[in-house]
Amino acid sequence: MSESFEIPEDLVYSKDHLWIKIVKKKVAVLGITDYAQKKLRDIMYLELPNVNQKIKQGDTLCTIESVKAVTEVYSPITGKIVEVNSNLIDKPELINDSPYEDGWIVKVEISDSSELEKLMDADEYRRYVEGLEEEAREEEE
């Protein structure tokens, strides 16, 4: 039986398992998906970027330390960090408990909106994750 993952319809997704929600014309909220937090398991620590830091698509956005691994999270968009979720400093487990609400990581002022077109909608991301799960099952056999 395969594990089910929450994939909200109103977000867009990167192949690195980040979700992006546009909240204002040029501002997006970013976080890791339910799939990613379940794969990481218990998140113990987060190294957040600085406010006003400029990031390029593909740059390291933050580092997440879990019981399983230390993972670099790569930005799916280019822009400037306008806010970080400082609640994650004392409560990194918010990502496990609520990846799409309380566990958001940063807000970014988007520099290049065309990058959003390269991201996946919920259906595309669901198929992508199902493909990864199928590959993992085949490797186990």
Residue 101 burial (CB < 10 Å; 0-12/13-18/19+)? exposed
Is the separation of the CB atoms in 26 and 113 below 8 Å? yes
Residue 77 in domain: yes
Q: Is the predicted pLDDT of residue 1 greater than 60, yes or no? A: no
Residue 126 in domain: no
Domain count, the chain: 1
| pLDDT, tens digit, 9 for 90 and up, residues 88-140 | 999 999 999 999 999 999 999 999 999 999 999 999 999 999 999 999 899 98
Residue 123 in domain: no
pTM of the model: 0.93
Q: Is the predicted pLDDT of residue 72 greater than 90, yes or no? A: yes
Domain hosting residue 60, numbered range: 12-112
Q: CATH code at 22?
A: 2.40.50.100
Percent of the chain surpassing pLDDT 90: 91
pLDDT given for residue 44 in this prediction:
96
